[in-house]
Structure 1
Amino acid sequence: MSYIARLMALESYRQALTALERREADRIYCKHDLDHFLDVARITLLLCQAHDIEADRDSVYLAALMHDLGRLDRDEADHNVAGSVLAAQWLDAIGFPKDRQEVVLTLIEEHGWPGKKAPANLSEAFSLADSYSRACYYCPAADSCFWPPDRKNTHPIY
């Protein structure tokens, strides 16, 4: 069984994902759900390919699947560290090798707004993918969104 499948089968992970989805059920802004997580993983790998950045698919997908789950305990910027603590427990539970865990945990801890520039490394690609995954140009709540105009995506990124 792949590490991704192990994580998805892990009861405590599934409970956390469900809890976050329930917490955000009435949220009018972008949600932090499985669709978002998978979008971040896919876009990260595309950015890495386009910019010749080395990326391990397992590490990228694991980080993406866990990167916003710290929002259960914290909001906005504080969720990175809380998410990393949860992720470390889940990585151990699925048997992900210790020598590969640092990459996953760093991606979770460091994700944030990198600015709209070409990524120079995996962490920047991951953070940019997190932003690019949002369809601001089609969002009914765009006018009241707290993101500054220069951060909002005005069209699909390709």
Structure 2
Amino acid sequence: MDRFNCILNDTEYIYYLKRNKKFEKDRKFCKHNLKHFLDVARIAQLINLEESLGFNKEIIYTTAILHDIGKSLQYENGTPHEISSWEISKEILHNYRYNEEEIEIIKQGILGHRDKKSENFAQLMYRADKLSRLCISCKSIDECNWGDEKKNFKIYY
């Protein structure tokens, strides 16, 4: 997973991670930070293994650390964060020699992670993203704009 760790240390990646932190400094709801990204990665990998989906672990982890990296641009100019995250990710992925097939899978995961009706790899990322949120213990649950159907009220094991 050398490429994955290279991304974590990439100057542009760190820049956008810090932007997310800055824009969410006073946010009382779920944050879009490295902890969230790694929670998504670990949950996705568990689902991948438990359901024998056959997705590559490095691709899962890479997608997870990139799926919300553009969130600050949504705050700044309204660009949906799956779009801005994909735009940021394209160059980073090429810089670390991900091949076109890998990039296409990652693209599907990033662009589809907010779509309940997504399929295949994107559906895995959607599920992991939602399961990563611990709504059941959130102090701000009553103020959250997520509908109850989106909130995670259970711990799945």
Q: TM-score, normalised by structure 2?
A: 0.91
Q: Spell out the pairing of 1:119-158 with structure 2 (5 A cutoff).
A: 121-158=120-157
Deviates further, 70-79 or 30-39:
70-79
Match of 1:25 in 2: 25
Match of 2:45 in 1: 45
Q: Where do 5+ consecutive residues of structure 2 fail to align? A: none
Q: Is the 8 A contact 1:81 1:109 kept in 2?
A: yes
Q: Is the 8 A contact 2:73 2:79 kept in 1?
A: no
Match of 2:35 in 1: 35
Q: Is the 8 A contact 1:137 1:155 kept in 2?
A: yes
Q: Over residues 112-133 of structure 1, what are the superposed CA-to-partner deviations in whole Å (9 max), with x where a residue is unaligned?
A: 1527xxx973221110100000
* Identical columns (%): 27
Q: Is the 8 A contact 1:63 1:104 kept in 2?
A: yes
Match of 1:95 in 2: 97
Q: Over residues 5-52 of structure 1, what are the superposed CA-to-partner deviations in whole Å (9 max), with x where a residue is unaligned?
A: 110111111111111112111101000000000010110111122222
Deviation at 1:100, TM superposition (A): 1.5
Q: Verify: 1:106 aligned to 2:108, yes or no.
A: yes
Q: Is the 8 A contact 1:54 1:122 kept in 2?
A: no
Q: TM-score, normalised by structure 1?
A: 0.90
Runs (4+) off by over 4 Å: none
User: Aligned pairs, how many?
Assistant: 155
How many angstroms apart in 1 are the aligned matches of 2:8 and 2:41?
Answer: 15
Deviation at 1:82, TM superposition (A): 1.4
Q: Over residues 65-118 of structure 1, what are the superposed CA-to-partner deviations in whole Å (9 max), with x where a residue is unaligned?
A: 011112121258811111111100110122222331111111001111527xxx
Q: Cα distance 1:20–1:39, how it changes in 2: closer, same or farther (>3 A)?
A: same
Q: Is the 8 A contact 1:40 1:129 kept in 2?
A: yes
Q: Is the 8 A contact 1:44 1:129 kept in 2?
A: yes
Aligned residues: CA RMSD? 1.9
Amino acid at match of 1:102: E
Q: Is the 8 A contact 1:38 1:61 kept in 2?
A: yes
Amino acid at match of 2:12: S
Match of 1:83 in 2: 85
Q: Where do 5+ consecutive residues of structure 1 fail to align? A: none
Match of 1:71 in 2: 71
Structure 1 residue matching 2:80: 3-state secondary structure: helix
Q: Is the 8 A contact 1:32 1:68 kept in 2?
A: yes
